Amino acid sequence: MFINHTNHLSQYWSQEQLAAAHQYGEIIDLPFPSIDPQASSSTVMDLAQEYAGRIIALHPTAVLCQGEFIYCHALVERLLAVGITVLAATSERVVEESYHDGVNEKRVNFQFVQFREYIR
Task: Please give the mean pLDDT across all residues of the chain.
Answer: 96
Report the number of distinct structural domains present in the chain. Answer: 1
Q: How confident is the model at residue 33 (pLDDT cuts 50, 70, 90)?
A: very high
Residue 104 pLDDT greater than 90, yes or no: no
Residue 57 above 90 pLDDT? Answer: yes
pLDDT band at 71 (very low <50, low <70, confident <90, very high): very high
Q: What is the pLDDT of residue 94?
A: 84
Domain coverage including residue 64: 2-117
Identity of the residue numbered 81: A
In CATH, what number is assigned to the domain containing residue 72? 3.40.50
Sheet holding 27-29, edge to edge: 27-29, 2-5, 62-65, 85-100, 103-117
Q: Residue 46: helix, strand or coil by DSSP?
A: helix
* Eight-state DSSP code of residue 74: H
